[in-house]
Amino acid sequence: MPNRVFVRPNVIPVLLLIFLALSLMAPAQRVSANEQSGKILHFNVSPNGYPPYLIVKDQQPAGIVWDVVSLIAERIGYQVVPKKVPRKRVDSMLLEGFIDGTPRAIEWTSNPDQFLFTDPIVAIEEVLFIPSTSKLVYQKPEDLFSRTLVTHLGYSYPLLEPYFESEKIKRFDVSRDRDMFTFVLHGQRFDAAVADRLVGQWILLNEGWQNEFRISEESISNFPFRLMLRKDWGDFAEQFNTELATIRESGELDAILSRYR
């Protein structure tokens, strides 16, 4: 009898301790299993991002592409881990397995056959942002003859390059997207800025300049923005494309886009 009285209270705490220990170990085991099964997507967001597609100012990334990738990845069982990779090292680090994916247009890639691309998430559409007070109407390159455009340093504009080279159209390069609009807004010798539609709308929204500019209906270029992956990520790409089509049809993609316009 005395033995039974003292054994029972000792057994309960021991069982509780074992249960708690197993509970604490379970999340770690799940994470480890995900890592081993390839359920983590190491995704390049670049050091400075590419607002509004990628925004990296805060601890948690944001932006159109980040929101889309995070939403779809969660639904197909992947965890997205952001990585800040310098632009010049992205392709090599992707091939070497340090990252698994990055946003990219096929047309911007030197050796696209080395990689696997998903279906387009959104279009990178370069247009003219023209001062509201200007009478300039753009429909074709000839409409820009004798004009000066503010352009992004290092960017190529295939449709306009022959006219830049012949100086029928002049370009003035700046290194930051926001500065392009500042120069057009305050510089009398600049006629328009060439920028991606969503990038420009994001800047105008944040600066309160929506009434200062109008956007050309005709575009300078239009490139589908996708995910660029290693070739061994075919299963992920297939699942991603399926879910991308679903959120496009459901209106979820449009809802994400509307947050950044």
> What tens digit of pLDDT does each residue of 222-233 get?
999 999 999 999
Nearest to 252 by CA among 68, 81, 7, 77: 68
Rounded CA gap, 141 and 166, in Å? 13
Cis amide prior to 52 (ω within 30 degrees):
yes
Pick the CATH number of 36-123+224-258 from 3.40.1350.10, 1.10.10.10, 3.40.190.10, 1.20.1250.20: 3.40.190.10
Contact 43, 81 (CB under 8 A): yes
**Which tokens belong to 202?**
């994001």
Who contacts 229 (Cβ-Cβ below 8 Å, separation ≥6)? 94, 100, 101, 115, 116, 117, 118, 236, 237
CATH 3.40.50.720 given to domain 125-222: no
Comparing CA positions, the residue from 215, 155, 150 lying closest to residue 185 is 150
First to last CA, the chain: 77
Confidence at residue 38, expressed as pLDDT on a 0 to 100 scale: 54
- The list of the chain residues with pLDDT below 70 reads 1-38
pLDDT score for 5: 33
CA 246 to chain centre: 19
Residues 114, 118, 122: CA angle, nearest 5 degrees: 125
Q: What is the C-alpha to C-alpha distance for residues 227 and 116, in angstroms, rounded to an integer?
A: 8
pLDDT for position 57 = 81
Residue 235, pLDDT score: 96
Same fold, 36-123+224-258 and 125-222: yes
Cα–Cα nearest to 107, from 222, 241, 195, 196: 222
Tokens 């991308």 correspond to what residue? 244
* Every domain of the chain and the residues it spans: 36-123+224-258, 125-222
